[in-house]
Amino acid sequence: MLLALVLQAAAIEGMWEPSQLLSLGQPLRSAGYLDDPARLADLRAAPLGALVSLGGCTASFVSDLGLLVTNHHCAVGYLQRAQREGEDLVETGFYAPTRQDERSGGKGARVFVTQSFEDVTEKVSGKVPARTDDTQRKALIDERTKKLVAECERPGGLRCRVASYFEGLRYTLVRQVELRDVRLVMAPPDAVGNYGDEIDNWHWPRHAGDFAFLRAYIGRDGRPADYSPDNVPYAPPQRLVVSPRGVQPGEFVMVAGYPGSTERWRTAGEVSRDATLQLPAYIEDGTWALDMLESVARELPSEAVKVNVPRSYLSNGVFNARWTLEAFKRTDVVGVATARDEALRRWIDADSARAAAYGPVLGEIAARVGLRDPDFERDRVMGWVGRSDLLSTARSLYRWARERQKPDAKREIGYQARDEGRYAARLADMQASLSLEAERRLLEHFLARAIALPPGRGSAELLAWVNATGATGGPEEKARAAVARLLADPALATAEGRLAWFKQGPAAFEASRDGFIGLAVALRPYDDARERESKDDAGAYARLRPRYAEAMRAFDPARVYADANGTLRVTFGTVQGYRPRDAVTYAPQTTVHGIVEKMGPHPFDPPAALVSAIERGKWGNYADPALGTVPVDFLSDLDITGGNSGSPTLDAKGRLVGLAFDGNVEGIASDYVFDAQMARTIHVDVRYLLWYLDAVAQADALVRELGLEPAL
């Protein structure tokens, strides 16, 4: 049935699990795939055996010595953490001609190599006692999940997780090898990797060289290890073959990677809430925060390096939210979801058995979705107060101190012994992006807004803490005075201070006179209350969403793939352009000449070495025969989302021909409703990557490690 339904639908839609690809042989071949489809379902074979997650991005092995290729924007954090005093590696780029020159990507850098998937649905959600309430249901699922993860990780060297599919209708245990020594090998300057910056972001045509190289290391005993000069390169189970031929318009391409999340299984009420509450609020607050970070970078050059990465992430998120909301209005996403749910309700009501099984589900979900909305403004502002790096760290450290009082199996997920090493690494790595000036401006703004909320509508805990500081005046004056106290001499402003507090017990926190630690303790009742609400909501959804998904799958059998959830998926289609509006047609490829055509003030200021290489016009064997020059980026009709950044783009024989790095603004709402006519994926062409390494970066050793010989 899966095969028949996919043949009826557009093959481009769908983020397919590897196991589903066994049923997609005919659609794959029809689209142009030339290899054995069974290989795509084998985690130990190429290409999937070469795929890894970076914990938010995707990468792939391209040599037998642990060399990984991913996007430049996925490596910006590595650049920031690897730079030394006086350096700005994001601006200048980095290249290590030998392995001795490679630099650590930070204590928290991770590579996750997927080993297996196991269906554990019955072990997670089966045999729930009849009178279990929603909070108890959540606790039971958490208890079972922790047990499965602990058993999975017992051999050591593994990182395991339980992933939910189809709204909790199915649970899968994912086993991954966790590599902890990841080093920076090469990344071009920001003016290459991020050419066009936010002006070109999500737009076509693009000319970004969005690529970078990392390397994974292990201990000499063959096991994952923390960074050490004595470590050796990891030998991956598979590596991708690089195809210098690239790919042509109309040809088959596919992307394998770790897409983060989509919202295609959300009810109409949830989609409407996003359109009317969540997105507008995030756009408003995020725009203010983005302007603030840009002003800090502009006014204080010494802080620019620190805020560069958070500014980049926030800018991308705000742009996405703004254009998603515009797309909601243009394509009536809420109306589409409402019509779908109304049709589902009619289908349920038309049969007594269906009515008995699913009748109240939509109504109960709708009631739960709006349950917390009376406190939306309070939690909105408090959420942004909590984005302070120092305050969020203080709250987490205090939580760690309290959780350590419990047996490990009883601790909350995220606060167990298995998490301590990663959290300690995060405490050390955050120094690279910690700006006390950005902290001050963020907290003053959002604290003032929190103080100004109507009586009874704000956080009583926060207001009590502000009053206890002795601050007087209006909201702005009180906020300034309170923040001045917080930043007087913060104990958590250094990595050493944070790591020292990571060892303390609850009593030390409760006796501390440090501003951020004292505020974290004061906010604990607020945090506990929100956590109880969250657990109650999660338990309710664990009861309701599987029934909704079950009803939807029976009503609409074409809904055969689950929302993205950070697990390995494959999507396929062809290289093609699109028509965004009347009389406008976008070709599917750009070339290096477009870089020169766009030249001007930042962000269209390519490095002189790149411009000189383009003007010389020596393309070697990297030119596209039809274009007569080197292609930079190309379009496809593939179905991807955030987390797919860095995913390898593969040709009909499974060879590397590019890297996915962005989507287009016209298809930006496809996280909710996929638009086959407009949604496009933007890839950097492997020929530009190779030509840049050869002609501009003079990275001959890297070209050879990719299995090719320099041609220029």
Distance of CA 185 to the CA centre of its chain: 22
The one-letter amino acid code at 445 reads: H
Cα–Cα distance, 568 to 58 (Å, whole number):
10
**3 state SS of 162:** strand
Distance of CA 19 to the CA centre of its chain: 23
Bond from prior residue into 205 cis (ω within 30 degrees of 0):
yes
Reply yes or no on whether 210 is catalytic. Answer: yes
What DSSP character marks residue 666? Answer: G
- For residue 256, what are the β-bridge partners? 570
What's the CA dihedral at 600, 605, 606, 612 to 10 degrees? Answer: 50
Strands in 180-274 per DSSP E: 181-187, 212-218, 232-233, 252-257
Contacts for 37 with CB less than 8 Å, ≥ 6 apart? 21, 22, 24, 25, 28, 29
- For residue 57, what are the β-bridge partners? none
Q: What is the pLDDT of residue 316?
A: 92
Q: Residues 460-485, buried b or exposed e (16+ Cβ, 10 A)?
A: ebbeebbeebebeeebeebbbbbbeb
- For residue 183, what are the β-bridge partners? 104, 215
The 3-state secondary structure of 500-560, one letter per residue: HHCCCCHHHHHHCCCHHHHHHHHCHHHHHHHHHHHHHHHHHHHHHHHHHHHHHHHHCCCCC
pLDDT averaged per 10 residues, the chain (length 712)? 42 87 90 90 94 98 98 96 94 97 97 97 94 96 98 95 98 98 98 96 97 98 96 97 97 98 96 97 98 96 91 93 93 95 97 96 96 97 98 98 97 97 96 96 98 97 95 95 96 98 98 97 98 97 97 93 98 96 97 98 97 97 97 98 97 97 95 94 98 98 97 94
Catalytic pick from 125, 645, 647, 670? 645
**Mutual angle of helices 460-468 and 515-522, in 10-degree steps:** 140
Reply yes or no on whether 73 is catalytic. Answer: yes
Cα–Cα distance, 536 to 542 (Å, whole number):
10
- pTM for the model stands at 0.95
Distance of CA 265 to the CA centre of its chain: 19
The one-letter amino acid code at 369 reads: V
Residue ranges of the domains in the chain? 268-531
Q: How many helices (H) and strands (E) does the chain have?
A: 28, 20
Q: What is the pLDDT of residue 38?
A: 87
Structure tokens at 257: 């990677």
Instruction: Return the sign of the alpha-carbon dihedral for residues 274, 275, 276, 277.
Output: positive
What DSSP character marks residue 629? Answer: B
Cα–Cα distance, 646 to 638 (Å, whole number):
14
Cα–Cα distance, 633 to 580 (Å, whole number):
18
Q: What is the pLDDT of residue 130?
A: 85
Report whether 633 contacts 207 (CB < 8 A). yes
Catalytic pick from 181, 200, 210, 514? 210
Cα–Cα distance, 271 to 198 (Å, whole number):
27
Cα–Cα distance, 81 to 515 (Å, whole number):
27
Distance of CA 616 to the CA centre of its chain: 39
Give the C-alpha distances (Å, rounded to integers) separating 560 from 254, 265, 503, 557. Answer: 19, 11, 48, 7
Catalytic pick from 73, 207, 445, 683? 73
Distance of CA 176 to the CA centre of its chain: 18
Q: What is the pLDDT of residue 223?
A: 96
Contacts for 682 with CB less than 8 Å, ≥ 6 apart? 204, 206, 633, 634, 635, 660, 661, 662, 663, 664
φ, ψ at 571 (rounded to 5°): -135, 150
Q: What is the pLDDT of residue 621?
A: 95
